Amino acid sequence: MQLVQDNARAQRPIRVVLTKVGLDGHDRGVKVIAQALRDAGMEVIYAGLRRTPDDIARIVLEEDADVLGLSILSGAVVPLTRRVLEALRAQQVDDVLMVVGGIVPEPARAELQELGVQGVFTPGTPLTRIIDFIRDGVPQERSYQGAR
């Protein structure tokens, strides 16, 4: 029976939670990303606007997400991301590919990488680059990679 369960787990699509943290209410870009990831065969949970770090950590845990994508268009990208990462650690979530998209100045990119963010995508990034990054970053045993 365990083999069947392991196979079922290995065959599920990549699960991505996308959300906006803090007071940023601009969500057009994150919705475009959500649709592109769905079209690529991923399961996308759009958690909406104005989520707190604790909300986000709870959603990632409950949804058994492979990827967390934060969309941040404010200048507070580093402190907001830091708070989300702290909330994830508090929930003992340490196996999620973390990506950030939005307005991210060059100095902030290095800080995000030091915090543990694996990918940073700014406006104009080709959707295929984001899709490929996620597919390459999620371990095979977590989910199937879908057709390219």
Q: Which domains does the chain have, with CATH numbers?
A: 14-137 (3.40.50.280)
| Best CA proximity match to 19, nearest among 82, 79, 117, 102 | 102
pLDDT per position as a tens digit, 120-132: 999 999 999 999 9
Per DSSP, 79 falls in state: H
Dihedral in degrees, nearest 10, Cα atoms 67, 56, 69, 10: 10
pTM (two decimals): 0.88
Distances (CA, A) of 88 to 19, 31, 70: 14, 23, 13
pLDDT of residue 84: 98
pLDDT per position as a tens digit, 51-93: 999 999 999 999 999 999 999 988 899 999 999 999 999 999 9
Both structure tokens of 67 = 């990827």
pLDDT of residue 128: 98
Q: How far apart are CA 95 and CA 93, in angstroms?
A: 6
Q: Which residue has the tokens 């990506």?
A: 99
